[in-house]
């Protein structure tokens, strides 16, 4: 895997895993940090996206930036996913080690792979029915990640993204960001024992990630069709779904 130079606007958090192993450092505390940063609301978002992923038609799913496996665990708990196969991937071996433990009960259905979502040479083109990525797009070069997802998908394959978004009422959105920029450093400092990276990336990622409408247009520009989105919690996050065309142009 090589370092990719990224125009900052395509990597909202301006994060490069090659330069900072922040997820390795916080892996054992990651799920508790999510609770702290979102006051537990991330559980509702993850449950909702897991249900959306499970409701799509697929036999093989590749999940990028899978983290501690929280979402894939919820996907595999859905009765409709019995007999389906998931590859849960991440660039952090420490996050994957936690995911492996958490997914033990489903080890016949899931395998774990160290993969950079921006560049997955070991993944054959057109080999997956569905690709999901949750809370990972804002810390990647999203053009590269979306293009790799597109390449990995079979024609007609489904894309599901959970990511930070915008509250459509500008005043409320500004107030939310102001609140986060005051509250998050305090919470983050306490929760990480002084490791500023985690909340620095999160804040930049939230601030500079495109709106739901803009992301939908971006996905179309990368070749996806049938793009839809659903805002959750007023638009703090959104779930985008899209399809790789059945017939390539």
Ligand X SMILES: C[S@@+](CC[C@H](N)C(=O)[O-])C[C@H]1O[C@@H](n2cnc3c(N)ncnc32)[C@H](O)[C@@H]1O
Question: Out of 116, 129, 148, 163, which residue is the one contacting ligand X (CB under 6 A)?
Answer: 116
Q: At residue 88, what are phi and psi to the nearest 5 degrees?
A: -100, 120
- Rounded to a whole number of angstroms, the minimum distance from the CB of residue 161 to ligand X is 11
Q: Is the CB of 101 or the CB of 169 nearer to ligand X? A: 101
Q: At residue 23, what are phi and psi to the nearest 5 degrees?
A: -70, -30
For 145, the 3-state DSSP assignment is helix
Residue 152 binds to ligand X (criterion: CB under 6 A): no
Residue 76 binds to ligand X (criterion: CB under 6 A): no
Residue 17 binds to ligand X (criterion: CB under 6 A): yes
Residue 67 binds to ligand X (criterion: CB under 6 A): yes
Residue 64 binds to ligand X (criterion: CB under 6 A): yes
Residue 205 binds to ligand X (criterion: CB under 6 A): no
For residue 60, list its beta bridge partners: 85
CA–CA separation, 64 vs 88, rounded Å? 7
Q: Is the CB of 43 or the CB of 231 nearer to ligand X? A: 43
Q: Which class for 125: exposed (0-12), middle (13-18), buried (19 or more C-beta within 10 A)?
A: exposed
- For residue 191 the two structure tokens come to 């929760």
Q: Under the rule (CB under 6 A), what is the footprint of ligand X?
A: 17, 23, 64-67, 70-71, 90-92, 95, 116-118, 134-136, 139-140
């Amino acid at each position: 895997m090589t370092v990719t130079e990224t125009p900052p606007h395509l990597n909202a958090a301006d994060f490069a895993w090659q330069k900072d192993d922040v997820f390795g450092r916080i892996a054992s505390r990651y799920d508790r940090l999510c609770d702290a940063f979102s006051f537990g609301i991330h559980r509702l978002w993850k449950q909702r996206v897991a249900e959306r992923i499970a409701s799509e038609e697929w036999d093989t799913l590749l999940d990028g930036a899978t983290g501690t496996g929280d979402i894939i665990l919820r996907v595999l708990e859905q009765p409709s996913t019995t007999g389906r196969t998931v590859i849960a991937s991440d660039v952090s071996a420490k996050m994957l080690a936690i995911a492996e433990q958490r997914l033990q009960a489903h080890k016949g259905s899931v395998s774990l792979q160290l993969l950079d979502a921006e560049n997955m040479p070991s993944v054959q083109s057109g080999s997956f029915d569905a690709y999901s990525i949750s809370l990972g797009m804002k810390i990647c070069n999203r053009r590269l990640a979306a293009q790799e997802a597109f390449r990995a998908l079979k024609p007609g394959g489904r894309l599901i993204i959970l990511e930070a978004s915008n509250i459509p009422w500008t005043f409320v959105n500004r107030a939310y960001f102001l609140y986060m920029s005051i509250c998050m450093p305090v919470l983050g400092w306490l929760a990480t024992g002084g490791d500023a990276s985690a909340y620095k990336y999160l804040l930049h990622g939230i601030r500079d990630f495109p709106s739901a409408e803009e992301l939908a247009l971006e996905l179309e520009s990368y070749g996806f069709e049938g793009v839809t989105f659903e805002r959750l919690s007023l638009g703090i996050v959104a779930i985008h779904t899209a399809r790789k065309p059945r017939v390539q142009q």
